[in-house]
Amino acid sequence: RKKLTIATLRAMYQRNEPITVVTAHDFPSAHVAEHAGMEIILVGDSLAMVAMGLEDTSEVTVDDMLLHCKSVARGAKSGFIVGDLPMGSYEISPDQALQTAIRMVKEGRVHAVKLEGGAEMAPQIAKLTQAGILVLAHIGLTPQRQNALGGFRVQGKSTSAALKVLEDALAVQDAGAFGMVIEAVPAGIAEAITKKLRVPTIGIGAGNGCSGQVLVQTDMLGNYPPGRFLPKFVKRYADVWGESLRGLEAYRSDVKDRSFPAPEQTYPIPEEHLVEFKR
Ligand code: KIV
Ligand code: NA
């Protein structure tokens, strides 16, 4: 596949073709996402939960992100890779944001960074944009602020809350963001906001009126036992957990009854050598 650039993404947006985005956190998850034709591969800080087993994203460090970004970049050579700036690595000042973003590009090998926040993050977005670093904004439900938001809740439900999301969307666009993730916002609001913008919106829990969609790969592929809580907006497209479990259980059983390894998985030796060896 030809290398995907910001020009490709802008052209897709112009012709109203939905932009497909999925997260990846390591080499194999990036490799399969690229083969599936995903336009953007997002190294989201959701890797806290899906790759590191943490409770939420607040413990993730820039070094954690860099490790995962590097692995993803090696797995998706033609992809457009966006890496999340983790909590604490950009809020303090535009300079802090730029320092972190530069590391993400130089060391993490990402093509763009994502940061959470609306109008209040406009100075950060402007600073990065002026330095030639592409920024994907993230508005609506911003998980790094879950404590302040009182948990994972739909944003923009009332008229005033919806106006706040619109104000954020316009502010991040005007600051130079090349697009924005809109998370957990009623479909009608996200669609109306999308129509008022000149940059793409990437929805997650924001209905099908956005310019593209994003999901966390391990959620949508079913890497967890059935019954685990998933947000309403996740559709489970595969059963990776079930497939992995079947394979591992079959292997275990084969080892226990010595049917693995079979002759096909074993190096042969001519009988006379063996006889000689055993003498
Ligand atoms: O961290 C993440 O995976 C994200 C997406 C869900 C947008 O930010
Ligand atoms: Na994230």
- The minimum-distance atom of ligand 1 relative to the CA of 181 is 7
* Single-letter residue type at 146: Q
| Distance from Cα 44 to the centre of ligand 2, integer Å | 4
Q: Among 181, 185, 230, 232, which residue has the most ligand 1 atoms within 8 Å of its CB, making it the best to mutate?
A: 181
Percent of the chain's residues with pLDDT above 70: 100
Q: Residue 272 catalytic?
A: no
d(CA 211, CA 208) in angstroms, rounded, equals 8
d(CA 118, CA 41) in angstroms, rounded, equals 22
46 within ligand 1 shell (Cβ under 6 A): yes
pLDDT recorded at residue 227: 85
pLDDT recorded at residue 1: 77
Q: Is the peptide bond before 261 cis (omega within 30 degrees of 0)?
A: yes
45 within ligand 1 shell (Cβ under 6 A): yes
d(CA 54, CA 62) in angstroms, rounded, equals 15
Angle between helices 159-175 and 122-130 (to 10 degrees): 20
Closest CA to 78 of 46, 19, 36: 36
Give the model confidence (pLDDT) of 188-217 as tens digits: 999 999 999 999 999 999 999 999 999 999
**pLDDT band at 147, cuts 50/70/90?**
very high
Instruction: State the average pLDDT over residues 162-175.
Output: 98
Integer CA distances (angstroms), 94 to 15, 31, 53, 101, 158, in order: 33, 33, 30, 10, 31
104 within ligand 1 shell (Cβ under 6 A): no
pTM of the predicted model as reported, rounded to 2 decimal places:
0.96
Give the model confidence (pLDDT) of 226-278 as tens digits: 888 899 999 999 999 999 999 999 999 999 999 999 999 999 999 999 999 99
d(CA 56, CA 49) in angstroms, rounded, equals 6
Ligand nearest, relative to CA of residue 41: 1
Domains of the chain: 6-238 (3.20.20.60), 243-278 (no CATH)
- Residue identified by tokens 């990846």 is 24
Q: Report the nearest-CA residue for atom 3 of ligand 1.
A: 44
Give the model confidence (pLDDT) of 68-118 as tens digits: 999 999 999 999 999 999 999 999 999 999 999 999 999 999 999 999 999
181 within ligand 1 shell (Cβ under 6 A): yes
Strand 134-140 vs strand 80-84: parallel, antiparallel, or unpaired? unpaired
For 269, residues 6+ apart whose C-beta sits below 8 A from its C-beta are: none
